[in-house]
Structure 1
Amino acid sequence: MKVGELAAATGLTVRTLHHWEERGLVVPSARTHSGHRVYDDGDVRRVYQVVALRELGLPLDAIGELLVSGAFGAVLAAHLEQVDTRLAALQSLRRTLAGVVERLRHTPDPAPSDVLRLMDEVSRVNETFAQYFTPEQVAELQERRTDGEATAAEWPGLIEAVRAEMDAGTDPSEPRVQALAARWAELLAAFHRGDPELGERLNRMRTENAAEVSAAGGPDQAMIDYIGRTGKVG
């Protein structure tokens, strides 16, 4: 596969794959006569290894050292364990929420014990956030959230404006949609500050938790696709 095909197949960006190549993590096995990168099956497996190890919270330097050993089975086992932990946390939270919702059918307010239990369950689920990012990236995101409150306040209005254009059937090439998309791209860039690794992780977290993001007022996949057709947002 060429780099664009690999990016499309994996959900990564071309920029991220180039970054990993620069770090020596995934170097394409060959190039065409015109200089285009070509990835074989082994390269694809290596991409998966990097993705899995990043989800486990390892920095790129540590990943490079581990990949030298070729311990692919160990990577798969660790990834499976992480996924099982995530699923268990979400299933536990769902059971708790379902129980509270059922009890609220008979009483107007939740019992203090229900509230405390929910807080505990939500805390456990929130811990999975760290599984998408390294500790350094979590700290950086927290700092950016604090420093960028004014910018973050723009998102609800921007999302509402984009949804209105989408619902109205406005073509993404229209100037007003192009302007909204340009601001969308600016806000994203201001948040991850051009870090392709961090941007990719944020996008993956949104994709894997699409229902929760949408329920909290964030963009759904239809909106992401719509804004992507403007050519302003990668």
Structure 2
Amino acid sequence: MPDTTDADGLTVGQASARLGVTVRALHHWDEIGLAQPSLRTAAGYRLYTAGDLERLHRIVVYRELGLGLDRIRTVLDDMTDDVLGALRAQRAQVAERIDRLQQLGAGLDRMIEAHEGGPLLTDEQQAAIFGPGWDPDGPSRARLRYGDTTQWRQYAERSASRSPEEWQAVADDMADLDRALGGAMDAGIPPGSPEANRLVERHREVFASYFPLTRQMQVCLGRMYEADPGFAAHYDGIRPGLARWFRRIIDAGARAHGIDPDTATWDGGQEERR
């Protein structure tokens, strides 16, 4: 291909480099009649003149502003077109996109924070909602232990979108369930009875505020409620022996659905969902 100067015109490759657009884009604009080179060499190569480059430059500017090619053609060729109005309309659309992106950024910040630490609440809010015995460092420790699990990701997604008022409703539901468990134990409700099984299902429903809980997963939690000193102290503080009784009604409820509590596993809960 012959070497040309600006005075002679620029080849497609040279114009592409000058304007920072692809050769493919220039060929496309040529094909649709948006920007065609005015000259050709003796060998038939396209050459863009200074006037052609000016038009191309304007196309690049309008395209970067977000105008479509058809709208750009109108702006460039229709002398009656309201260019200022078109630019103002495009500016309004850009402002809307900026607002949406800012909202998206804020949402991502909340999601990151929730993945790192759980509830997006201050220490004071946590104490007020979950009670003075609430440990604000608990979610961070849970993150270190469970942060790579599906359930932690589900918990973080819920935490990112939950307001203090919604967390208060979750805490109230859990407190109501604790009172109901204590009352049922006092009343001598036996494991496997309809009343006990309803409490087991209620626990699954309330716990779903954190993440979906299958029956096999619930059995695993029941074991932890009895064996873990912190959980056992919580339930036995409501009623002596409640941690063990709670596990027994969970196990009985699982058996009613064909699940052997002795072999239930957390991963088995994934199979149960399928």
TM-score range relative to shorter protein: 0.3 to 0.5
Q: Looking at secondary structure, tell me which structure has more helix per residue.
A: 1
Point out the structure with max Rg over C-alpha: 2
Q: What TM-score, normalized by structure 2, do the two folds share?
A: 0.32
Q: What TM-score, normalized by structure 1, do the two folds share?
A: 0.37
